[in-house]
Chains A and B, each alone.
Chain A
Amino acid sequence: MANEFAIHAEGLGKKYVIGHESQRERYVTLRDVMARTARRLGRTALDLMRGRPIVEGDELEEIWALKDIGFEVNRGDVMGVIGPNGAGKSTLLKILSRITEPTEGRATIRGRVASLLEIGTGFHPELTGRENIFLNGAVLGMSRREIRAKFDEIVDFAGIERFLDTPVKRYSSGMYVRLAFAVAAHLEPEILVVDEVLAVGDSAFQKKCLGKMQEVSHGGRTVLFVSHNMQAVQTFCTRAIFLNRGRLAANGDVRSVVEIYLSDAAPLTSTWVRPPGRPESLVFFDRINARLSGKQPHLQLNLEARILCEGKGPDFYVAADISGSLGTTLMQAFPEPEPFMRCIEGEYILNLEIDLPPLVPGRYVAHLWLGSHHTQTLDWVKDAVEIVIKESPTASRAYAHSPLHGFIAPVSRCQVTRLERGSPTVIPASRP
């Protein structure tokens, strides 16, 4: 069984050519402009003759979205593909699902592949829910007979019986997503390739999706699963590969790969700087800096914010929301008393110190809010800074934490008393 591979890749690479407008000499003289136009025309003509695609811009750059990727996935493995944005995860999935061809290298695949790079691919807004189930199913590679057999199950899962014969353009976005996922969830290929499709819908629906994924991963199918959600990856996958800037940075069992990824990822201090452009209010955040200190389970988050005040305004105060990797807001830090700052022209440094509860390892995001009243928002920086927690709050725990069981692992103690003849024996247990 050991050499029963489902996917075998060696030396896979994918190159894209992109064009830039050169920044150096931005339309200085007419002569420059003419020379540049002539050069561009010449190149376009050359491209046209060679049958190459036209690239906008006058500077060409080759980008290897993937380079030298080799790995093997055994039959029945559930493999996570992780890495920061732009690491080439989606490109890899596209190659494996035959949407695009590699520039070099080769991949051998045994079995029928279904790819789920987005949900609702091929949905047509004018068609009814019923028609779209058949359409989407066919697009994802199901036969009509298969769809007919699962039709009731799909409708049931989506919970849209009443709207089956309504065009999907009249659906609410929630219904639309549910229907789309319901079709996708009933795919039964030998190899399933999934890209971050869990990041949709409300939390109840996400939970349903996570449950379905778990079911799939226990069903003995080969699954490739791209996600930014480390908890989900650790829950469903047995193995993982870590891509970074198009290269394979780690390959192995899921825990060690996730560990490498988290330690490789953003340093503990994370900074947000206001992008150029005028803010709407007189007072706003200009720069936010996050730093972790202390040891689990007594971590402390220090948020340092530079606030600019451009005139006289109402008194204001600041709050910070912290959310987990699934986008759920976990807590709000709300320093009192309020309002505690006067809006007088000037530059201010605010230091916010938050005692964190025992959070499970993963990525968290802090959002900063500034306002004069809870209904009067003056500035709100969503997804301001990222906080990566690596250390587990429960040092002795042998298995990974899962988001299905929450983000907070409270320090807990227990003791067991054996009730028997004679004196009670007390066994101290599980100390963090």
Chain B
Amino acid sequence: MRVSRPAQSSVQKSRENEVMAGLTTPMTPKDQANRTPERVLVLEPGRAERNYWRDLWLYRELFITLAWRDVAVHYKQTVIGIAWAVVRPLLTMLIFTVVFGRLAKLRSDGAVPYPVLVMAGMLPWMLFSTILNEGSNSIVSSANLISKVYFPRLIVPCASAVVALVDFGISFVLLVLMMFWFGVRPDLRILFLPLFILLAMLASLGPALYIAALNVRYRDFRFVIPFIMQLGMYVSPVGFSSARVPEKWRLLYSLNPTVGVIDGFRWCLLGGQSHLSVPSFCLGTAVTGVLLWLGISYFRKTERSFADLV
């Protein structure tokens, strides 16, 4: 297959030239009026789409519509509806505060009250885990769409990430209220917060895309995800500050991409007491980058066969 590629592509090139030549022949004015710049599409086995990213841009309206659908449907036919976005982190935070703060006597850094510390870690963790969960199931659960129409499949997991972002926005209000209540005042570093939100999304999209693609072939991954999420909550610095991790393990620990994100959140929000260790942050971001690259490239490699397998 690989050997015959060059020959094939030259055939293809000559055909494209023909096509271009066809377009330059004189047309009647009516023809010209009817014609928008025409797209010529070649379908071939194993052909990487040259204009994949442009295609993605062309399908942006579908992305918006699907994201809107996911958001609209998310809390349909629930009694308390959107309040779930508040209840979930609130309850988890209360349990953490009671179990770890009171019973296990975990302490916070400096002056920040323990509940605020947990909440500031809980929000990015929930953003991360929701995207991972929803994103990796998204392809299989929209099988009916995928087997009936074409669009760049990348849209589906990305749209489900938007839902997580909306949830995050709602629960963020809760954090703001808590910070008022406990008198925690953020400084100018809060301006960096959007960057860390983006980082949290990218960190989860990488693995989510990879697992979403694998999930189409091997449904085993459906069972892996809840396990990762349960474990991840304790492995990530949600209930404690990563300053508690012994110095010699710190770099190894920050291979977990959520560590950099959660530390960053606390650094932005909780004022002077929390600090961000630059080497571990860079390491986490690098891991995020690698995972994202792996996720996208595997997803793109396999997405053309989704419709056959899903």
Chain A interface residues toward B at CB < 8 A: 3-4, 16, 48, 51-54, 94-113, 115, 117-118, 121-122, 124, 126-127, 131, 134-135, 138-141, 143-144
B17, CB-defined interface residue at 8 Å: no
Partner of A54 from B42, B61, B217 at Cβ < 8 Å: B217
Q: Closest Cβ of chain A: how far from B294's Cβ, in Å?
A: 14
Determine whether the beta carbon of B43 is less than 8 Å from that of A106: yes
Query: Is the beta-carbon distance between A126 and B77 smaller than 8 angstroms?
Result: yes
Chain A residue at minimal CB-CB distance from B73: A126
Cβ contacts A to B, 9 pairs, < 8 Å: A16-B308, A99-B149, A101-B43, A105-B44, A106-B44, A107-B43, A108-B40, A126-B73, A139-B145
* Given known A122-B144, A122-B145, contact A110–B150 (CB-CB < 8 A): no
B218 at interface (Cβ–Cβ under 8 A)? yes
Partner of B73, one of A101, A103, A121, A127: A127
Contact A118 B43, beta carbon cutoff 8 Å:
no
Q: Is the CB of A104 within 8 A of B144?
A: no
**Is the Cβ of B149 less than 8 Å from the Cβ of A101?**
no
Considering residues B38, B39, B69, B304, which has the most beta carbons from chain A within 10 angstroms of its beta carbon? B69
Q: Which B residue sits closest to A134, measured CB to CB?
A: B65
CB-CB under 8 A from B47, the residues of chain A are 101
Q: List A contacts of B72 (CB < 8 A).
A: 126-127, 131
Residue B251 is within 8 A (CB to CB) of chain A in the complex = no
Q: Taking the nearest CB of chain B, how far is it from the CB of A363, in angstroms?
A: 27
Known: A51-B217, A139-B151, A144-B65. 19 other contacts (CB 8 A): A3-B22, A48-B218, A53-B309, A54-B218, A97-B149, A100-B305, A100-B307, A101-B43, A105-B45, A106-B12, A106-B43, A107-B43, A111-B39, A112-B39, A121-B144, A122-B148, A138-B62, A138-B65, A139-B62
Mark B residues whose CB is within 8 Å of A: 12, 15, 19, 22, 38-47, 61-62, 65-66, 69, 72-73, 76-77, 144-151, 217-218, 304-305, 307-309
Residues of B within 8 A of A105 (CB): 44-45
A180 CB to closest chain B CB (Å) equals: 12
Task: Give Cα A154 to B113, complex, Å.
Answer: 57
Closest to B42 in A: A108
Which residues of A sit under 8 angstroms from B38, Cβ to Cβ? 110-111
A101 touching B305 in the complex, CB below 8 Å, given contacts A96-B43, A109-B40, A127-B69 = yes
Interface contact B307-A94, CB-CB below 8 Å: yes
Contact B45 A110 (CB under 8 A): no
Closest Cβ of chain B: how far from A30's Cβ, in Å? Answer: 27
A126 touching B76 in the complex, CB below 8 Å, given contacts A106-B42, A115-B149: yes
Given the complex of chains A and B, what is the CA–CA distance between A113 and B39 in angstroms? 10
Contact B73 A99 (CB under 8 A): no
Cβ contact of B148, chosen from A99, A106, A110, cutoff 8 A: A99
Tell me how far the C-beta of B173 lies from the nearest C-beta in chain A, rounded to whole angstroms: 25
Across the interface, name the chain B residue whose C-beta is closest to A131: B72
Q: Which residues of A contact B12 (CB under 8 A)?
A: 106
